[in-house]
């Protein structure tokens, strides 16, 4: 089979021919249809500090995918051949402290698809049956390929009650944009999303027409707040950028006692205004992945109830055009790029 592999400790990825995955008694073999390029994949392409620390070489990368079951292990007969599926990318140890206390998403030793074990940027992927998720009919193959990041957005956005609240989102990547759509769906008041990429801000506006977009290279957030009559500050912050300057701006822009759900992954150490966090009495929650599998249930219900995030898909490419997709993302000219493996 062909797969997109990181096998050199330098910038880039390579499409290679490699052996088929080995199927165990408890796993499922999936023929991959579509995959989504994630910010994590860009970190791996760049071979930054985070990637150098986390990624074993060689590795098939990718964790956002959909496909269909073509073979099952002897203990994994709950899935029929041909079933449309996606999958939870965190393979956890249910005997760990987190697993046994009902918080498997916090398992410190989780094995991560496309990060610590072979991933989905390939014609086929093997996954434990316990991580495979059957897809409802109302979710098409393109949307199914981005359920992983949508789950991140659902987990982050629903960390706090957004109804009637003024919400600041820093980072107009796909997860930030989807978080804005969720905030609007659950009844937030003003939704402001910031970024330095006008392309991504335009996609945010297309997805959530009544959100306020702020290009921080040319616009002043404080002035926007005055125009919106957000005099004391935003109630809730959803941090999606991993940018030191964006995080500092969020801290400055929150109301006393404000709350931050932080999902953005910095590529290096950052400095925080810790005194402001203390004196403003801010509550900060780190968000990682999805709350297995409660977030999947909420995500499916939100989509069935009319949540629309399809506009975050800005480009659709064949798998062999992956270099174009990564270039678009690195230049800030794309939101979510779908690679088709058919």
Pick the closest to residue 234 from 251, 213, 248 (CA basis): 251
Q: Which residues contact 227 (CB under 8 A, 6 or more apart)?
A: none
The β-bridge partners of 60 are 5
Residue 317 burial (CB < 10 Å; 0-12/13-18/19+)?
middle
In degrees rounded to 5, what are phi and psi of residue 124? -145, 150
Could you say which of 10, 35, 40, 155 is catalytic? 40
The whole-angstrom separation of Cα 138 and Cα 129 is: 22
Could you say which of 10, 22, 35, 43 is catalytic? 43
The whole-angstrom separation of Cα 67 and Cα 124 is: 9
Residue found by looking up tokens 């230049």 in the block: 331
Judge whether 187 and 163 are in contact, CB under 8 Å: yes
Judge whether 105 and 263 are in contact, CB under 8 Å: no
Known catalytic residue: 43? yes
Could you give the residue numbers annotated as active site?
40, 43
């Amino acid at each position: 089979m062909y797969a997109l592999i990181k096998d050199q400790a330098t910038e880039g990825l390579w499409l290679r021919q490699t052996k088929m995955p080995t199927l165990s008694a408890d796993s499922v073999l999936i023929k991959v249809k579509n995959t989504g390029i994630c910010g994590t994949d860009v970190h791996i392409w760049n071979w930054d500090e985070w990637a150098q620390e986390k990624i074993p070489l060689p590795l098939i990368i990718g964790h956002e995918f959909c496909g269909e079951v073509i073979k099952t292990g002897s203990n994994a007969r709950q899935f029929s051949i041909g079933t449309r599926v996606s999958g939870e990318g965190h393979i956890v140890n249910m005997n760990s402290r987190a697993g046994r206390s009902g918080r498997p998403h916090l398992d410190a030793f989780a094995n991560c698809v496309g990060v610590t074990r072979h991933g989905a940027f390939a014609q086929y992927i093997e996954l434990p049956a316990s991580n495979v998720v059957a897809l409802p009919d109302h979710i098409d193959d393109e949307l199914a390929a981005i359920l992983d990041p949508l789950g991140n957005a659902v987990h982050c956005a629903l960390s706090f009650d957004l109804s009637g609240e003024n919400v600041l989102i820093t980072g107009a990547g796909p997860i930030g944009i989807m978080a804005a759509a969720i905030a609007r769906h659950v009844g937030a008041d003003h939704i402001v999303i910031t970024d330095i990429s006008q392309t991504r801000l335009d996609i945010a506006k297309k997805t959530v027409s009544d959100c306020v977009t702020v290009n921080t290279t040319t616009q002043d957030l404080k002035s926007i707040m005055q125009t919106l009559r957000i005099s004391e500050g935003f109630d809730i912050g959803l941090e999606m950028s991993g940018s030191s300057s964006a995080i500092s701006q969020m801290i400055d822009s929150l109301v006393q006692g404000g709350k931050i759900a932080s999902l953005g992954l910095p590529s290096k150490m950052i400095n925080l205004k810790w005194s402001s966090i203390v004196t403003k009495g801010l509550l900060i929650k780190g968000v990682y992945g999805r709350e297995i599998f409660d977030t999947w249930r909420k995500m499916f219900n939100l989509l069935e109830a009319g949540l629309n995030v399809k506009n975050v898909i800005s480009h659709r490419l064949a798998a062999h055009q992956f270099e174009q997709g990564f270039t678009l993302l690195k230049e800030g000219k794309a939101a979510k790029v779908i690679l088709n493996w058919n």
